[in-house]
Amino acid sequence: GAVVSQHPSRVICKSGTSVKIECRSLDFQATTMFWYRQFPKQSLMLMATSNEGSKATYEQGVEKDKFLINHASLTLSTLTVTSAHPEDSSFYICSASGQHLNYEKLFFGSGTQLSVL
């Protein structure tokens, strides 16, 4: 099946620094990418939806200036956590779908565990 690669898998950073997470679709063109956040023992919460070449749509309560999303190409989307704080520590997961929004074709990355000290 199609592969979504997410990098890094784990990152530890100091409070106040910025962290960039990459999400790549390796063998298909991802017109839409989704970013989720998951706190321990909780379910995935959608943060934002990004379409290639346009601004991301953020879910209510998600600060767009803090969580910068760039989807400049059909195979790459990035999430930058700016001025990270300990409460931003979480498991971040991206997913991607192909040209036709068919959820059989929604593939997820392996996730990034962010720990802010």
Partner 1 sequence: DAKTTQPPSMDCAEGRAANLPCNHSTISGNEYVYWYRQIHSQGPQYIIHGLKNNETNEMASLIITEDRKSSTLILPHATLRDTAVYYCIVASGYSTLTFGKGTMLLVSP
Residues at the site binding partner 1, with contacts judged by CB under 8 A? 4, 6, 34, 36, 42-46, 49, 91, 93-95, 101-104, 106-111, 113
| Residue 108: CB minimum distance to partner 1, A | 3
Cβ nearer to partner 1, comparing 52 with 82: 52
Q: For residues 45 and 43, what is the distance between their CA atoms, to the nearest angstrom?
A: 6
State the nearest-atom distance from the C-beta of 54 to partner 1, in Å: 16
Nearer to partner 1, 46 or 117 (CB): 46
Considering the complex, state which of residue 47 and residue 84 has its C-beta at the smaller distance from partner 1: 47
**Alpha carbon distance 92, 15 (integer Å):** 17
What's the min distance (Å) between Cβ of 16 and partner 1?
A: 26
Q: Which is nearer to partner 1, 44 or 82 (CB)?
A: 44
